[in-house]
């Protein structure tokens, strides 16, 4: 599943956010994502993609920031030898 679709599905299920509002330039706070919801979303990404995102990672402000964060940690996970 594409990362943006995971965000759309997650928000629609948890906050009833219209998936059409979840665009790369959308601000997370505008979509109703508070710190707790962001933490839940990050846990969802970790489970879905098998990545680990450190707690001290800079907090994303937009959907694109979150997509970039996920892409970076997915690349790092794929680059590690098994």
DSSP state of 59: P
| Number of domains the chain is built from | 1
CATH code of 27's domain: 1.10.1200.10
Residues in the chain: 82
Range of the structural domain that residue 40 is part of: 3-79
pLDDT in tens, 20-65: 999 999 999 999 999 999 999 999 999 998 889 998 999 999 999 9
Residue 80: per-residue pLDDT: 76
Residue 69 has pLDDT above 80, yes or no: yes
Residue 82: per-residue pLDDT: 61
Residue 11 near residue 66, CB atoms below 8 Å: no
Whole-number Å distance between alpha carbons of 47 and 22: 21
């Amino acid at each position: 599943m594409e990362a943006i679709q995971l965000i759309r599905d997650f928000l629609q299920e948890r906050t009833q956010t219209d998936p059409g509002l979840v665009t790369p330039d959308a601000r997370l706070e505008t979509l109703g994502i508070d710190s707790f919801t962001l933490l839940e979303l990050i846990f969802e990404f970790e489970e879905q993609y098998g990545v680990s995102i450190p707690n001290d990672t800079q907090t994303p402000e937009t959907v694109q920031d979150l997509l970039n964060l996920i892409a970076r940690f997915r690349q790092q996970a794929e680059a590690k030898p098994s």
